[in-house]
Amino acid sequence: MTRSPVDEVHLSRIVIFVIIFFILPASSCSGRARNIILMVPDGMGLANVTAARISKHGSNPLPLSFETLDQIGYQRTFATGGVITDSAAAASAWACGEKFSNGEVCYHRDGRPYQPNILELAMKSGRSTGLVATEAITDATPAAFGAHVPFRRCWKEIARQYIEESHVSVLLGGGKALLTAQEADPCGTAGDLLRLAQERGYRVVADRKELEKAVEEGATKLLGLFSDHALTPEYIRKPESAEPRLREMATAALRVLEQNEAGFFLLIEGSLVDRANHENNFPYQVGEVLAFDEAVAVVRAWVDQDPKRKAETLLIVVPDHETGGFAITGPFSTGKDADGEVETAWTGKKHTGVDTIIWSSGPGSERLGRAIDNTDLYGIMADALK
């Protein structure tokens, strides 16, 4: 029997209906995500992005990897009691969904209750979790996702909570000296936290080769401490350095966490953009932004490997605040002066109160393509985990 054009149209509509409602993964329709990857270039402002792009491509307007994510919005960053946030209050707003005072890590010093953080929600849902940073792994941003402490310098207590309460699957970064120091931290926690991690079943690694070996051997609980404090800045890093770069730590974390069929939550922080901006150091800043973007490219390649994985992974790139009031100046149309250097200026060496950009893709990202408060990110991620 020959079908009429009308029949063909009806058949096409039925096929489209079936594809949308029955074949596409549920996450693509519901905003639910199996995996959430939150990537934070600490202290990065939009002018830092422009400078890194010019430094990499010159007058060629090719975007950086994170600039081509599906959604773009921006967030307000103020903390309790002031316009200017620090990293602890900013990360706590994301992790726990409410405003905090500077220095508080998902903890109210006045005794008010606080919500469980996003990492705890992920853990309770059966997902694995990971924290990666180029600063100390107990620094303010990762700390907000794995601990609740009144002061950001409670490094030992933060590490203890990672190990004994939050049960973070993957911890990669710096800060070995902070975990092994003899003296107690401001919260009163003392002892060798590195030894505690080993006693609790973590595979502990100290350099790139050990990290690669642990991943190849199928480690499921991994602690990598690659320096006493922060990792080496990109602009002075030597090629033969034994420290893994951010993109290598990101790759390792993904390989460990992807073993869990239930999914995972992963925070990846390019921590040293903030340090570079505090120092008003242009080569330092550009090197860290570009290294962060390389890590984003690695993550995006992992996401794009599998259509199902892409449909089930919420990827968010967002700075916690801006630092230094950086700007690109000068009369030259190419953005470079006669010596080939980008002309720059700074307003100071502290954090500023400006809004920061959010780039995102994946289930739930459509809710990020607008102006939001930093506390709104909590609800969006929590809904994606349901």
pLDDT digits (tens, 9 = 90+) for 114-148: 999 999 999 999 999 999 999 999 999 999 999 99
302: CB partners within 8 A, 6+ apart: 251, 254, 309
Say if 218 falls within a structural domain.
no
Cβ–Cβ under 8 Å, residues 148 and 107: yes
Does position 10 have pLDDT exceeding 50, yes or no?
Answer: no
Separation CA 191–CA 136 (nearest Å): 17
Q: What is the CATH number of the domain that holds 58?
A: 3.40.720.10
Average pLDDT over residues 214-242: 98
Q: Quick one: what percent of the chain has pLDDT higher than 70?
A: 89
CB atoms within 10 A of CB 192: 14
Say if 164 falls within a structural domain.
no
Average pLDDT over residues 21-32: 50
Average pLDDT over residues 82-101: 98
Question: How sure is the predictor about 58, in pLDDT bands with cuts at 50, 70 and 90?
Answer: confident
Structure-model confidence comparison of residues 17 and 214, the more confident one: 214
Say if 237 falls within a structural domain.
no
Alpha carbon distances (Å) from 156 to 160, 162, 186, 226, 267: 6, 10, 9, 17, 20
- Specify the pLDDT at position 1: 42
Separation CA 34–CA 177 (nearest Å): 35
Tokens representing residue 160 in the block: 């203890």
Separation CA 314–CA 309 (nearest Å): 10
Residue 322's SS3 state is strand
Please report where in the chains the tokens 């996450």 appear, as a residue: 27
Average pLDDT over residues 179-185: 96
* Mean pLDDT computed over every residue of the chain: 92
CB atoms within 10 A of CB 208: 18
Q: Position 330: which residue type? A: G
Say if 323 falls within a structural domain.
yes
- Specify the pLDDT at position 59: 74
Question: How sure is the predictor about 13, in pLDDT bands with cuts at 50, 70 and 90?
Answer: very low
β pairing state of 222-225 and 170-174: parallel
Indicate the number of domains in the chain: 1
Say if 349 falls within a structural domain.
yes
- Specify the pLDDT at position 60: 78
Confidence (pTM): 0.91
Structure-model confidence comparison of residues 188 and 344, the more confident one: 188
Half-sphere exposure of 124 (CA within 13 A, CB side): 10
Please report where in the chains the tokens 């199996």 appear, as a residue: 34
Question: How sure is the predictor about 251, in pLDDT bands with cuts at 50, 70 and 90?
Answer: very high
- Specify the pLDDT at position 26: 42
Structure-model confidence comparison of residues 71 and 61, the more confident one: 71
Say if 381 falls within a structural domain.
yes
Say if 254 falls within a structural domain.
no
- Specify the pLDDT at position 20: 33
- Specify the pLDDT at position 373: 99
Average pLDDT over residues 6-19: 39
Cβ–Cβ under 8 Å, residues 377 and 318: yes
Tokens representing residue 222 in the block: 């991994």
Does position 282 have pLDDT exceeding 60, yes or no?
Answer: yes
Catalytically active residues, by annotation = 87
Query: Which 8-state DSSP code applies to residue 165?
Result: I
Say if 227 falls within a structural domain.
no
pLDDT digits (tens, 9 = 90+) for 299-350: 999 999 999 999 999 999 999 999 999 999 865 555 555 455 668 899 999 9
Alpha carbon distances (Å) from 93 to 8, 70, 87, 249, 319: 53, 24, 10, 25, 13
Phi (first) and psi of residue 268, to 5 degrees? -125, 120
Q: Containing domain of residue 278, as a range?
A: 37-159+263-385
381: part of which helix (H) or strand (E)? helix 376-385
